[in-house]
Structure formats: structure tokens, C-alpha cells
Structure 1
Amino acid sequence: MKAGHWTYPLSFYRKLLMLNHLFVTCKKPIVSLINGVAIGGGAALSMRATFRVVTENAKLNSLENALQNITSSNVSTIATLIETFTEKANVKEDSPFKRLETINKCFSKGTVEDIILSLEKELENRKEKWITNTLSSMSLACPLSLKIFLKSIRKGRTQNIEQCFYHDYNIVSHAFRRTVSNDFYEGSRAKMFDKDNKPKWDPSKLELVSEEMVDQCFRKVNDEEWEYLQLPHRSNIIIPKL
């Protein structure tokens, strides 16, 4: 990554997105063999298969197991199934569920700056450790990335899976190419290579990250070496319900 061309890692990421797209939209029969631990991304891919073969060695939680056996791709059917596993939990006092109201209040703000201001106001009223930790994490994070991914999450609420793949691909392309910033490589250097955990972000502050810089990361890359993500159009595109 340090010495190679920026298109090399992008090629891998493009293939990964194409695989995910194939699984979530393909109408042809796909068989997945689930043997052993199947959680997270692996379980998500396997659940999209037409035929799911689950061995006695498979380890899935109850909800994942029920989703494996569902026969309909209808969103309401899946939502109803999930609802059957939903109950008001008797959570501990320090559980994140106790913070949902505050989390929703703070993170519903329109900008990263306003989210931070809202968290700081909450901290003034009640000295809770999770707020301090959240503010600390955000202060150490890449300013450009904070704004990019807030916009990505907001855009994704009204997009189908194909549209999300395209804008994710553009974001990663610009990061690898250093179109707007060298932050991806700087973060990798500080965390994975030199391991000094002291990345020098550029831009270094949220106020230095312009709206144009963020918007640029969602556009197509203006470079002859950039390969456009080509996903075949399929009729069974999923629109996320959040």
C-alpha cells in the first residue's frame, strides 16, 4: 500500500462490492453452505442465497437462524420476523440502551460540529463517561472522514443498495487516490505501520473541511486510470428502511 499504485487496492474493493451486489440482487439460484461460525458479513452474504444449507456445526443466533429459513424476500415479512425477536430488555444502568434518547437527540443534528456541541452541552448537565469517551474519540478521528461518513449515512437512508455501493466506491476511490487528502494513508501509517498513533490529519480541524471537499468525495474520479464501478441493473433492488 505504501509503494503500490492507488488502483491496486481499489481493484480489490471493486470486486468486493460486485460480490455483495451479486448476492443481494441475483435472481439465479445460489447455494450457500453454512458450516461452523457464521456471523456478521459472512452470515449476511449467505442469507441472500436461494438455497441455504446449514450443517449441525453451524453456530448462529436465534434471529440469524430464523432469517436463514425465511422464504419470502418481502421487506414487511422480514420486518415482522425481526419484530418477533424484539422485546423491551431489562438492561443494566450503564447499558447503551439507557442512552438512546440522548444519542438520538445529539446525533440527529445536521452537522458534525452541531453533534459535538450537543454532546458537550449534555456533558455539562451530567458527567457521564460515555459522553466523555465519545467526544474524545471524535476529537482524535479524521475531521474529513467524520464529515464524509455523516453525509454517507444520511444519503444512504433514501438510497437503494445499488446507489449506496456506487457512492461508497467513489468515496474509497478518492481516499486511495488522495484526491482531497492523504488522510487514509496517514491514518494507516500511524495505526498499522509506524504505530505511533499520532496521525497528522490534513485538514487538521473540522472547520477547515469545506462542503466542497466532502462533496468531491462522492463524485466520480476524474482520472484516466480510474475504473468505473459497473453493476448490472437488476429489478430486485432493495431500498433500506431506517
Structure 2
Amino acid sequence: MALTSQVLVTQNSDVRTIKLNRPKQLNALSLEMESRLLELFRAYEEDHSVKLIIVKGEGKAFSVGGDIPAVINGIKCASSKQRESFFQTAYTLNYLSATYTKIQVSLLKGLVMGGGAGISLQGRFRVVTDNTVFAMPETALGSFPDVGASYFLSRLPGFFGEYVGLTGARLDGAEMLVCGLATHFVPLEKLSSLEDALCKANSGDPEIIDNIIHDFKNPKLKENNQYFRLITIDRCFSKRTVEEIISALEKEADRNMDDWILWTIKALKKVSPTGLKIALRYIREGRFQGVAQCLIREYIISCKVMQAVYCRDFFEGYRSLMIDKDKNPKWEPSKLEFVSDDVVDYYFAPLDDQDWQDLKLPIRSNLTSYAISKL
């Protein structure tokens, strides 16, 4: 499929609709797609005739995230500079979305994961629906949830962000709305009507857009909604270390043999120990940083994960889940107690390379109050 057909654009007066168009790949984002999206975001911000941008996905998913097979193959063939370029493009796109001066409405139908979350959950309006499923499953891949997740997960109520980021828990649209990841819920059968109404309004006024979306009803939370577990999540995921979090969950299980608690313990024990420790630290630190600081730090960590100096868990997770599909990764180190503080510190420190440069994000001017609040 040609690059131009992987990202489609529809112009409707002063509204631009960007559609991710790799439905067979569940709209997994390639470097070429992200480069094209970055080009479009930059162009529309400078175009005074553009008032509103709608972003959506073709088919059953908004986007499952980055095209991992392409990333792995690219890393094997690429120089360190080429690897860094991949993350520079992705994180610059995330930053523009987070600080955009035009209004972005993301229509989040189906799966929203990883990089798909990065280009949508930073925007002003995030509309979910009946079949929306969100997750940041990176720890199961031997990595950590990036693309600005240290910013948007750390700002969820209580310690819900630690729970979502460490376990890779899947949230439905109603759960996303109540925890703040989404701004609106629209029934699936009305999503096309909403898009038509936004195009017809032809407005970049956030109050007008908000009123249009609010004309549609909100959902009811299910009885087994994970957000209802927030008291238990706060009690356990507020602990200082991953080991202490698991111990607290096990004590909860001793008092109350609960399927959700057992699943949470199992999930934490199955994923990468190194990925867990990186994720916990960076979500905690993200609470006190702006989106730019979070992305600059994530850039350093991502480059080091790909270098695989101390740990090759990302490549092992890829093998286990996508190549051999045995779902039995051999993490190294294999246990949390073997992941020292020094190793975790390594991922947060600048690279020991005289040619290394931190992520250079574009200088932003004339920002809206919404965007300024995220800096």
C-alpha cells in the first residue's frame, strides 16, 4: 500500500479529517505513516483556513500502536542515528498533538494502544464508544509504556495510572471516560452522525465542539468496572517498589479471594521485571514534569531499550508474542530482585556517547491555555 493511501485526508470546508488506513494491520503505525502525520499536523497548524482536525482509523481499530515487526527489522538494519530518528519522529508528533493550537477531535473506535494512544490521548477531545478498548501493553513486550504515557498515565486519579501502565490492563470506553483518558462517550451507531455534525458546524471553537459532542448520551459503567477498584488500587499501587505492590496485592488476596486481584498479581509476575521497574519510576516522576520533559526522558529510555546493553527483553517479548507465539518469554533478569537500582538508573541517565543529543522538540509559540497547561 502506498504511503499516500496509508494516511487519507478529507477536506470539508475548514475541517480536515485524517484517517489511518491500514485496516488489515489494525492501523499499526509505520515510520512513514508517522512522518506523514507529522507533516500534516505541522501544515494544518500553519494554515489559517483550517479550524478543526478529526483523527480516526479505518476498520476495526483506531490504532494498535507502532508497527513492531517493522521497527524490529529496522533496528537490525539501522545505525544508531536511524534508530534515534524513528523515536524523534514519533515523539515530536506526540508533542505536537499535546500542544496543538488547533482543535483535535480523536474518534476512538476499536483498539487504541501504544502509539495509537500517543497521537490521540494528548489531544483536546477524545471520543470513545461502545467497542473502544484501550491498553498500554508494553511491559508484556519487555519494554515500557512510552509515547507520552508518563504524562497522561501519571495524571489519572490516585494510582490508577500505575495500575494501567504496569499490568497492561484493558479499559473499555466507559472506564476511559470515568478515569479521564477520554472526554466524551458517543454510542457506536451515532459516531458517523457526530462526525457529520462536526464537519457541518465548521468551527474551531472548543465550546461549540463540546456542546455538539455533549448532545450524545453517556454510558453506564459495568458492575465489574476496574475503576470501582480504585480504593484497592490506591492501597496497593501506592507502594514504593514493584515488589511491595505485589506483596500488598497478595495480602489483599489472602483476605478476599477475588478474580481481579488474582489476575493483577498474575499479570505483574508474567511481564518483564526490568520493564516494570522502569515504568513505575517514570510514571511516578512524570507527575511532576510537563509533557516535553516526559517525552525527552522517554526518548532516552527508548533508545537504551533498543541498544539492549543490559537487557534484551524487548526482543525476547517480540519473539514470544509475535514470532514463536509461545507466550512464554524468558526475561533476563528473570526476577524483580535481580533488577538492581543501578540498572534502572542506567535507563534514566544520558547516553555515554559523545555524539548523543537529547530529543529536540520544536519551540512552541501562540499556544492556547489548554496547551500551555501541559508544558
TM-score above 0.5: yes
- Of the three residues 210, 224, 231, the one matched with 2:361 is 231
Letter in 1 for 2:77: G
Which residue in 1 is equivalent to 2:206? Answer: 70
Q: Which residue in 2 is equivalent to 1:169?
A: 299
* Equivalent residue letter for 2:255: N
Amino acid at match of 1:100: L
Give a deviation string over 1:32-55, Cα, whole Å, max 9, x none. 6x6xx722645446648xxxxxxx
Deviations 1:18-45 (A, max 9, x none): 1222333356xx576x6xx722645446
Deviation per residue, 1:119-145 (Å, 9 max, x gap): 000000000000100111111110000
| Matching residue of 1:23 | 97
In 2: Cα distance, 1:152 partner to 1:92 partner: 31
- What does residue 234 of structure 2 align with? 104
Any idea what the Cα deviations from partners look like across 1:79-129, whole Å, max 9, x if unmatched?
A: xxxxxxxx9x97554332331111111001110000000000000000000
Q: Return the alpha-carbon distance in structure 2 between the equivalents of residues 138 and 59 of structure 1.
A: 39
Measure, in 2, the Cα distance between the counterparts of 1:219 and 1:101. 34
- Alignment length (residue pairs): 214
- Give the Cα separation in 2 of the matches to 1:168 and 1:123: 34
Matches within 5 A, 1:119-138: 119-138=249-268
Normalization by structure 2: what TM-score? 0.49
Structure 1 residue 11: deviation in Å?
Answer: 2.1
Root-mean-square deviation over aligned CA pairs: 3.7
Identify which of structures 1 and 2 has the higher relative contact order when contacts are C-alpha pairs closer than 8 Å and 6+ apart. 1
Deviation at 1:57, TM superposition (A): 3.9
Aligned residue type for 1:205:
K
Structure 1 unaligned regions, length at least 5: 49-55, 61-67, 72-77, 79-86
Contact 1:144/1:206 (<8 A) preserved: yes
Match of 1:4 in 2: 77
Matched, 1:139 2:269: yes
Deviation of 1:239 after TM superposition, in Å, equals: 5.3
Q: Which 5+ residue runs of structure 2 have no aligned equivalent?
A: 1-71, 126-190, 196-203, 211-217
Counterpart for residue 83 of structure 1: none
Q: Percent identity?
A: 35
Change in Cα spacing, 1:45 to 1:240, as seen in structure 2 (3 Å) is closer
Give me the whole-angstrom Cα distance separating, in 1, the residues matched to 2:309 and 2:193: 44
Q: Is residue 38 of structure 1 aligned with residue 110 of structure 2?
A: no
Contact (CA 8 Å) 1:14, 1:169: kept in 2 or not?
Answer: yes
Residue identity matched to 1:155: E
Contact 1:26–1:234 under 8 Å retained in 2: no
- Which one of the candidate residues 71, 88, 93 is aligned to 1:14? 88
Using structure 1 for the length normalisation, give the TM-score.
0.73
Kindly indicate which of the two structures has a greater share of residues assigned to strand: 2
2: CA distance between counterparts of 1:213 and 1:238? 34
1: distance between equivalents of 2:194 and 2:256?
41
1:45–1:105 CA distance, 2 compared to 1 (3 A): closer
Separation of aligned partners in 1, 2:274 and 2:372: 29
Distance 1:4 1:176, change over 3 A: same
Structure 2 counterpart of 1:13, one-letter code: F
Do the aligned residues in 1 keep the contact of 2:92 with 2:362 (CA within 8 Å)?
no
Contact 1:21 1:231 in 2 (8 A): yes
Between 1:197-206 and 1:1-10, the stretch displaced more is 1-10
Letter in 2 for 1:20: N
Judge conservation of contact 1:170–1:218 (CA < 8 Å) in 2: yes
